[in-house]
Structure 1
Amino acid sequence: MTEMPLPDSVTLIRHPLVQHKLTLLRQKATSTGEFRRLAREISLLMAYELTRDLPLQMTEIETPLESMQAPILSGKKLCIVSILRAGDGILEGMLDLVPSARVGHIGLYRDPETLVPVEYYLKLPEDVAERLVIVVDPMLATGHSAAAALSRLKQAGAEQLRFACLLAAPEGVSVLTRAHPEVPVFTCAVDRELDDHAYIRPGLGDAGDRLYGTK
């Protein structure tokens, strides 16, 4: 992992359980089912960090013994937007923690000639502008798809945005934070570099293929 200085907008999640599970996730011998389970568990733990500053309000409830004022979440609930297809591997774990969250999807592919991300699918809640939107993708490699997804969500009216990934490359962090300096980024590790094929090194391979057993 790199020791590069990170921008203030980037949070490295160092919780021991997250780091332990990430090590298991990286291993070549980890099966598809185990990889999927670990990704789900890590994303649930990440969701604690991503949501630690959600606003609360007080409401009156009845316990079995008496009435009291107790805190509940204030305002609209979250919206989690998955960058297809691999983003769904993080989405499910976060929904385990916040089952009432709304869900959006954005599909992007890279044009083989221009290398520019091209949108092929977008489905968002109508009130996305009123929600905190967490965009999820396991890998922040070149950063171009993540930056394009955030730009598209801004066009759709989203104002409160965060980005979460399992692994990032220094190149991807640089691209994303230059394009969207105000968007908080959460990751479990920033690895050494991208190789010539835009794979994160040492990385964990292709997250989508490992999640779904494809090549």
Structure 2
Amino acid sequence: MSFTLIIGNKTYSSWSLRPWLALSAAGVPFQEKLLPLGSDMFRETLAEFGTSGRVPLLLDGEVKVWESLAIIDHVAERHPDRPIWPQDPAARGMARSIAAEMHAGFQALRNELPMNLARPPETRAITSKAAADVSRILSIFVEARRRFGADGPFLFGRFCAADAMFAPVATRLATYMVPLDPISESYVQAILAQPDFVRWREAALKEEWVVAEDEVDWPEVKRF
């Protein structure tokens, strides 16, 4: 089988990062095709497939799968031998639940603290709604780590799809210097040091594209 994963800019595209990271960490081979967000190439290429017109998009032969969580689950079905989800039923149940919660929620946090891997760490004021999102996310981190994290530094010990779903959040917490409890801080640092994420970030820092709506300091563009 041969997968092609179509993604957007690595600096900003949090939804692209999620399946890319899940597949990479599980050792699932795939080809990557990057389309600059908002470009003519982006619109024209995605229009050919008749899907949502957004990234990520997975091509598996004649099968097209879009939305990050759907892509992860499709690949997990195609590669049952890969550790994409935890094997323990209780851990897997929580991992799937929090991944779905991440996929569907936390809109205030996303709007106010967009993923921007090129922005230097700097604090930013947030609304009460975004603060509530942060509080819920940190409670997820603490509960998962305490219940299932004994075998490694990630939410369920070993890196899995739930970590891929929350990885962009970890970058936001670091970029905007959100205060963290010790368990959450350790987890965020584990995500930032994960080898596949490091590869993604290194590529992101080489990009020259700027997306104004994801630059919270616009018209100023802050860079390392």
Q: Same fold, TM exceeding 0.5?
A: no
TM-score (norm 2): 0.37
Q: TM-score, normalised by structure 1?
A: 0.38
Structure with more of its chain in helix, by fraction: 2
Larger gyration radius, structure 1 or structure 2: 1
